[in-house]
Structure 1
Amino acid sequence: MADSIRESRGNRIRLVVAYDGAGFHGFARQDGLRTVQATLEETLTRMLSTPIEVHGSGRTDKGVHARAQVVHFDLPYGPPAERMVYVLRRRLPADVIPLWADQVDTGFHARFSVVRKTYRYLLYRGAAPNLFLYRFSWHVPGVLAVEAMREAAVHLLGRHDFTSFCASATPQEDKVRSLYRIDFVESPNRLAIEVEGSGFLQYMVRIIVGTLVKVGQGREAADRIPAILAARDRRLAGETAPPHGLCLWNVEYPPEYGGKVVDPEADL
């Protein structure tokens, strides 16, 4: 946790949690379904004996994981934020892990104060699926032309209309987003793709990954990306990569709220 976090002037709590998305129907509350938001709200409500509404930094879809999801909620009373983390670790299910919490002023909003978000998608390239990674990676056996994937990714950087790279039913009318960074992190049999941007549309990262894999397999040319962007046609981009390879990796706030909530160099 960064040292520059603003001194508290209210009862607003910021909480950073990690979760395994396999057992959830996404982050956002849905009637009759197990979601991260509902799990947090129910646990906090029981713990504090008062209704608690949780606001998240963004929604993750069914099956998508988080290394650093940020939420905030307001308390009429309760234990200090730091102590609350340890209480929640005993009360939350094993697939939701509170990392840290602090008290922030009421100007902070988990979603609307966000400056940047980073998602990481993990590909496993071994001949057979990995027993210990299959819940957290997309098995894509065989050789991928990573240099071609890097060339394709360069065309996605900057500010673009990402209509071709989001779900056809995406509710937002404005589909212009800014991507600041797409990095490829290679290790034996693994390839992680990190995408950092101002914000993301539904399935956007998964479609970007599916398109980059298509390029890496030689089924699409790297220099076709600008034309795919310009067409604003979802049918021209690659497949939507499966959700279980995707993880909300980091969330960044302005300096007065501590910047990135997880150390980018931390090995989690």
Structure 2
Amino acid sequence: MRTIKFIIEYDGSDYVGWQRQPNGLSIQQVVEEALIQLLGQPARLFSSGRTDAGVHAHGMVAHLQTQQSLPLRAFRDGVNRFLPSTIAVQHVEEMPPSFHARFDARGKWYRYNIYQAPVRSPLHARTAWWLKTDLNLDAMKEAAALFVGRHDFGAFRTSGCAAKTTIREVFAVDLQGCERLLTIDVRGSGFLRNMVRMMVGTLVEVGQGKRSSKEIADLLAGRDGVGSAHTAPAHGLCLMEVWYDAPSGQ
């Protein structure tokens, strides 16, 4: 049995998310159906995690177990032949049999895009949150530093999150403005459901003068009377990369 690792890029605008769902078309379903056409037999992908409806990915990781002896390039080019223009396998790699895309992941990098301008941009409409007024970047950077470290992010998850613990470690939150585009890069060991979007939404409120840095500290401490964290729109979020330990011997 071979274990094949896939790195998949997609525009999630037209999908219900990564995971198969009964209420619409998912990325997983489309890629698995392409694999079935290539391999001529059932195929199931195990991913590094989920992305919600409208969220994009530059580097979603998934793995497939198969007995097929196709060369690696055939898994990439063959699957891409059956995929729509919104999804593409960018890289394939053969892994040890014990590899698991989800359970072996050591960290993830998400990027959130914000477009600041008085007029909307059609070119950024599917990949950035449009805000008409400028944000206070210095205030947002100061607040972002509070997220770094190991904290209880229970206030930064939505209902339906099935995580057993709300303790997560955030390695870095970096904000960079370039002309009208603001990028927020969040790196961490793992994330709760909608955690990054709620972090971004709260930082935007700080940038708008609607919240203070102290309120973020209060949210992380679970103090009452702070209000809930605001959730940024899905379409500005992109999963950039998933990290793994190097296989033994490398």
TM band (smaller chain): over 0.9
- CA drift of 1:257 comes to 8.0
Q: 1:176 to 1:142 in 2, by over 3 A?
A: same
Taking structure 2 as the reference length, the TM-score comes to 0.95
Superposed CA RMSD? 1.8
Which of 123, 126, 129 is the aligned partner of 1:138? Answer: 129
Structure-2 residue corresponding to 1:219: 210
Q: 1:22 to 1:117 in 2, by over 3 A?
A: same
- CA drift of 1:115 comes to 0.7
* Residue 155 (1) aligns with residue 146 (2): yes
Query: SS at the partner of 1:226?
Result: helix
**Runs of 4+ off more than 2 Å:** 232-238, 255-259
Which of 162, 178, 188 is the aligned partner of 1:197? Answer: 188
Which of 98, 102, 112 is the aligned partner of 1:107? Answer: 98
Structure-2 residue corresponding to 1:69: 60
| Number of residue equivalences | 250
Which piece of structure 1 moves more, 161-170 or 49-58? Answer: 161-170
Structure-1 residue corresponding to 2:73: 82
Which of 172, 182, 186 is the aligned partner of 2:163? Answer: 172
Q: Distance in 2 between matches of 1:236 and 1:258?
A: 50
Instruction: Flag structure 1 segments of 5+ consecutive residues without an equivalent.
Output: 1-9, 260-268
Which of 226, 240, 251 is the aligned partner of 2:242? Answer: 251
Q: Distance in 2 between matches of 1:130 and 1:146?
A: 21
The answer (yes or no) to whether the contact 1:166–1:234 under 8 Å persists in 2 is: no
Query: SS at the partner of 2:119?
Result: coil
Q: 1:83 to 1:30 in 2, by over 3 A?
A: same
Query: SS at the partner of 1:155?
Result: helix
Relative to total residues, which structure has the larger strand share, 1 or 2? 2
Query: SS at the partner of 2:101?
Result: coil
Output one character per residue of 1:108-132: Cα deviation in whole Å (capped at 9) or x when no partner.
1111111110000000001111111
Percent identity between matched residues is 36
Q: 1:209 to 1:234 in 2, by over 3 A?
A: farther
Structure-2 residue corresponding to 1:6: none
Q: 1:75 to 1:187 in 2, by over 3 A?
A: same
Instruction: Flag structure 2 segments of 5+ consecutive residues without an equivalent.
Output: none
Which of 85, 107, 111 is the aligned partner of 1:120? Answer: 111
Look up the equivalent residue of 2:46 and give its one-letter code: H
